[in-house]
A and B are shown apart, each in its own frame.
Chain A
Amino acid sequence: MSREGTPPPLPPRPKNIALLDPRPPSSHGVTPTRPQLVSKPTTQLSFADSQTHSNDSKYESSSSSASRPHGLFGWNKPKASSDADAPSVRSVIPAAEGSVETESILGDVLGDHGHSLFQSLGNRFQNQESESLFLPDPDLEHAFEQEFNEIEDIDETGSNEETVLIKWRAKLKHFLILSSAGKPIYSRHGNDELITNYVGVIQTIISFYQSTEDSLKSFTAGDVRFVVMTKGPLNLVAISRLRESDSQLRAQLDALYMQILSTLTLPSLERLFAARANYDLRRPLQGTEVLLSALSDGFTRGSPSTMLGSLECLRLRKAHRHAIDNALLKTRSENLLYGLIVASGKLVSVVRPKKHSLHPGDLHLIFNMLFEAGSVKAGGGENWIPLCLPGFNNTGYLYMYVSFLNLDHPAEQIQERPRSSEGIGDEVAVVLISANKEGFFELRGMRDDLINQLQKNGSINHIRQAVKGGRFTCTDIVPGSPLRHFLYKSRGNVQFTMPSWDPYFNTLFDRRRLTCLYATLHAQVHAKPAALKIIHETTTTNISLGWSTPLFELYCVAPSTTSRAALSQAANKIVQWVRREEERLFIIGGAVF
């Protein structure tokens, strides 16, 4: 292939064309069923996607279930109870326990002793407890290990072209952003030269469908899912082998789009393309590729926050959070719009005007910038960052003061921080946002006052302890719980909580497999409009549960030796625990002025 001059619009490799072959029958009209990332403010109660009860909780997966020997089970058989009962915990669980199913009975028999029973039998489940929840998948593991490696450029002679292309194609996930004229704007993997052909194909396919007034939303080729999202002058494309649902991929594309708006604002994005459809957007986006890549990599690693469209908070006693809220209110400076304290990617406290809530999508962009991308950290000192928060207002800029704290010496500015996102463990940032672009010293003064207050009233200590303490394990929460992990989202608060990844999910790959499992449950739970849904899934290695009510979503997983009854009981206990701890786990309202 010639690497000079303008590349042909279609790649000459038949293999690629086959890969990109759209399959119209399965590709259309897939509408997202989950709420958009930006759709709900964090502090306001809204149940956008709670509709009527489903009396058909038996879910049929539309995706391949070849790898799931047991298929999928609805929790409740279509019994009267699931219709009539209010979606409360108590009303649901007994029904499940009472349902007559082979597995449940087996589960009841084995109960909590199942494990020792197997052990005493000396069968192959012997070390189940220490074994993975997932069957080994060396191919996937290998691909995942390579996933974040940089792809080298094709050299001058083109001698490495084939290997470079193989590496590119082996990526589990691609994100591409192109202009409607087909100009590449961003690609997570590969430089321009490498992606030009692919961009050409995708562009051709997109415009083909656009010309038929039937815009392309998604299609599958082999085990690869393509999702296309058109936003004004941009086409965003997600290409995933990780079996995520279209709406999950769409939420990820939406976050990338929000990142672009955050850099440019919507009017200026539109203006740039109105002047010239062929405009090269990479220029004004210069320097923000790292932010897009940090988001992309978060999605590839598996982001509970984006999947759930919600945020995690630092667990604090109610009185302790209250003291922090009060310090924020007391030291609030005149032009402050939002104030946040964030510890290692978890929200500690928020101060905001009564009439403006904060959008999870906006906060996610800020957290990504501060804790994942390293741009701000790497600079050292304090930062003053113009940015648009599209969930708040996509037409204008706000100005964000950022100062990282050294919890052991809070009065000092941190001048230097670890570069990698591994080191985020005990990073605490004060984030103060104003519409006044000359407000740096005002907010800096507020920061000093705030730190002073927080030191005086002992809050720094509380934050430090909470950060150092980390997340609980499942058995910290419920002694003896068979659960290995869970995600609990409070819909009303648009926040989630989860236990530590340790001790069972120590590697990124373990976590990815877990988040894949969650993604599957999440997709099933959201596939049908109903207020109350329970999804129950069993494989040879694990048993999992997805449970959605108007109040919460819960996803959890346990070893396959756990009975359904034990799993449901464990899930129930988590719900009870959250209810008890609600004001510690979540920010309810925040400090409002």
Chain B
Amino acid sequence: MADSGAAAPKPSSSVKLVLLGEAAVGKSSLVMRFVNNDFQENKEPTIGAAFLTQKCNLPTRTIKFEIWDTAGQERFASLAPMYYRNAQAALVVYDITKPSSLTKAQHWVAELHRQASPGIVIALVGNKADLAAEAAAGDELGDDATEDTDAAPGAEGEEDADADNADQRRVATKTAKAYAEEEGLLFFETSAKTGKNVAEVFTAIANAIPEASLKGPRGAAGGQSSLGRQEDARVNLGSVRPEGAKEGCAC
């Protein structure tokens, strides 16, 4: 699905996006799924930050994501503002098997609300959905996950994991979803491993960016700081995605 296929060039614009969240929740894996449609077990931790780009074709326009994948380790925390300062979108990721990672995500959301551009689009993403028992059922969005099946045991540190394929979910969908609604965030449960909902998150973000803040390929607001500056980056074309890109996001 080459995004250059359309004959008439659609208006295209760049969107700066930053991934934030605790180490090992799967930020880099989500990006790798989005950009390369690939997944690695036991991925090595990110050091510093990685910068990647990927195009996303919407019916009326093309969005080029410029993605900062940050390392979640504490020692890099002070560098985070550099990456979100001029971002138009943020993916705040937690791990549905690890309640403390949601707490960390909430801190990031608060920090973004305090410090990032006021119009920033934030998506809260609960990753590793494949590890939840209902994952096998393959329900489409986290939104309408059945309330009964995801009744996660509230006890956080409790070791009641049984067999390998037991439900490892420790964060109930409705808990995270309620929080996301309260804060006005997009919300998805994803699996970088299976690809579930990954393209959807990016498409939803692309759709949620206000038309007004898209000023052409070089143009979004406030590009003066060096890390926020736009550059023409080469984009990886032609990655093939098995789980269909529903909204025409060609990524």
Contact = CB atoms under 8 A, between A and B. Distances in A.
Interface in B1-47: 23, 28, 31-32, 35-36, 38, 40, 43-47
A386 B45 CA distance: 15
A441 B49 contact: no
Interface string B222-239: 000111010101101000
Nearest to A289: B45
A440 B48 CA distance: 12
A442 B226 contact: yes
Nearest to B38: A416
B141 interface: no
B233 A441 contact: no
Contact of A444 (B69, B79, B82, B231): B231
A386 B76 contact: yes
Contacts of A444: 51, 231
A416 B179 CA distance: 35
The number of chain A residues touching the other chain, given as a range, is: 35 or more
A377 B49 CA distance: 12
Given A381-B51, A415-B35, A437 B82 contact: yes
Contacts of A442: 226
B227 A440 contact: yes
B67 to A, nearest CB: 8
B50 interface: yes
A272 to B, nearest CB: 11
A386 B80 CA distance: 12
Interface string A431-454: 000001111111011000000000
B143 to A, nearest CB: 30
A288 interface: yes
A437 B76 CA distance: 12
A340 interface: no
Interface string B71-104: 1011110010010000000000000000000000
Contacts, number: 104
A380 B52 contact: yes
Contacts of B53: 381, 413
A369 interface: yes
Contacts of B231: 441, 444-445
Contacts of B236: 413, 415
A436 B226 CA distance: 10
Contacts of B67: 381
Nearest to A448: B231
A383 B75 contact: no
A129 B36 CA distance: 48
A373 B28 CA distance: 16
Interface of B: 23, 28, 31-32, 35-36, 38, 40, 43-53, 67, 69, 71, 73-76, 79, 82, 225-227, 229, 231, 233-234, 236
Interface of A: 263-264, 283-284, 286-288, 290-291, 369, 373-376, 378-387, 400, 411-413, 415-416, 419, 436-442, 444-445
Smallest CB-CB A-B distances: 4 pairs: A385-B48, A381-B52, A287-B45, A379-B50
Given A415-B36, A416-B38, 8 more contacts: A284-B74, A290-B44, A380-B32, A382-B52, A400-B48, A415-B52, A437-B82, A440-B226
